[in-house]
Amino acid sequence: MPELPEVETVRRGLEPVIVGARLTRLRQNRPDLRFPFPERFVERLEGASVERIDRRAKYLLAALSTGETWVTHLGMTGRFTVDGEQLGEFEESAPIAGKHEHMSFCALKEGRVTRVGFADARRFGFMGLIQTAQVETHPWFVSMGPEPLGNGFSAAHLAEVFDGKKQSIKVSLLDQRNVAGLGNIYVCEALYRARISPLIAAGKISKPRLETLTAVIRDVLNDAIAAGGSTLKDFANAEGGQGYFQHRFDVYGREGKPCLGKPCLGEGCTDVVKRVVQGGRSTFYCPSCQRR
Ligand SMILES: [Zn+2]
């Protein structure tokens, strides 16, 4: 499933093409994705100009000249293509056209026409149109915590929302009300880099360690964005479901493999990565490097 860095990569790919462009020649090839397309979807987009494109957690939000915001969630296999080229690299590439392309349009900007398509083989993605003034109070967004890369995300914020919490730090970081858009892979990686045990109660973590954690979360996400969100590869994983492996992951997906950590003693860690299930999701961690 695309996580925040992959969605941000797609946003950055769409931005130069659609911001300032007029949307024309819209096509909608089926009534629904995971949910039905909005009523009169094509009509409401046709002729509109895109004023900006933002990302909130894993949602893309294109603010239109019509006063509406066009919201897209990529689900698991949602992919945008620009003139036939897929934006971002994912474990499965998008069919450029054909039965899995569910909508398309042309972006007209400075006399240039660019064709943009949206394909979604498994159709877990969805699109919506929301009054721009009502985006923040919409059910999809109203209870979301701050963006991990935004100004509202800080050790002070985490200290406040984690105060007295007995829930594990791992599960707490996946709770979108505490911080928006963090997925399983990046939470595992961040806790590993911050050397915090995923098993510790969120309310037990000291302020200095929360300072480290917030900085590390930003680093992990920025590194993945800098890599173009391009390093996820399909692999048959131990959870028996779909999983993703990235060569650059330090801990995620590395159960039973040697820890890559180099603890302060100047010697490499000799422990192996362990996997536990927390909140129904796999957690990968090093019991030696990640302290309680
Ligand atoms: Zn270790």
Between residues 249 and 131, which one has the greater pLDDT?
131
Active-site residue identified among 2, 5, 38, 198: 2
Question: How far is residue 156 from each of residues 64, 151, 187, 290, measured CA to CA in Å?
Answer: 35, 12, 19, 22
Q: What is the band of 2 on the pLDDT scale with cuts at 50, 70, 90?
A: confident
> Mean pLDDT in the chain?
88
Give 280 Cα–ligand 1 centroid separation in angstroms. Answer: 24
Query: How sure is the predictor about 239, in pLDDT bands with cuts at 50, 70 and 90?
Result: very low
Q: Answer whether residue 124 shows pLDDT above 50.
A: yes
Q: Is 177 annotated as a binding residue?
A: no
How far, in Å, from the CA of 237 to the mean position of ligand 1?
21
Q: How far is the CA of 89 from the centre of ligand 1 (A)?
A: 30
**Residue 287 Cα, ligand 1 centroid: separation in angstroms?**
7
Residue 232 is predicted with a pLDDT of: 44
For 251-290, how does the pLDDT look when each residue is reduced to its tens digit (9 = 90+)? Answer: 999 999 999 876 554 467 889 999 999 999 999 999 999 9
Tens digit of each residue's pLDDT (9 = 90 or more) over 73-84: 999 889 898 988
Q: Which of 22, 34, 44, 281 is catalytic?
A: 281
pTM (two decimals): 0.87
Q: Please list, in sequence order, all residues whose beta carbon lies within 8 angstroms of the beta carbon of residue 100, skipping any fewer than 6 positions away.
A: 94, 119, 120, 121
State residue 225's pLDDT score: 84
Mean pLDDT of 31-53: 97
What is the model's pLDDT at position 215?
97
Q: Which CATH number fits domain 4-137: 3.20.190.10, 1.20.1740.10, 3.40.630.30, 3.40.50.1220?
A: 3.20.190.10
Catalytic residue (one of 3, 6, 8, 147):
3
Are the CB atoms for 142 and 136 separated by under 8 Å? yes
The class that CATH gives domain 155-230+245-285 is: mainly alpha
pLDDT of the residue at 95: 55
CA of 240 to the centre of ligand 1 (A): 26
Separation CA 57–CA 181 (nearest Å): 4
Ligand 1 center from residue 292 Cα (angstroms): 13
Q: For 56-65, 107-116, 255-264, which range has the lowest pLDDT when averaged over its residues?
A: 255-264
User: Does 73 count as an annotated binding residue?
Assistant: no
Q: Of 56, 58, 123, 193, which residue is the catalytic one?
A: 58
Active site residue 233: no
Tell me the pLDDT band of 241, cut-offs 50, 70 and 90: very low
Phi-psi region of 20 (alpha: psi -120 to 50; beta: other; left: phi over 0): left
Determine whether the annotation assigns residue 122 to a binding site: yes
Domain ranges of the chain: 4-137, 155-230+245-285
- Tell me how far the alpha carbon of residue 43 lies from the centroid of ligand 1, in angstroms: 56
Active site residue 58: yes
Angle at 130 between CA 176 and CA 153, to 5 degrees: 30
Tens digit of each residue's pLDDT (9 = 90 or more) over 82-104 = 988 778 766 555 555 567 899 99
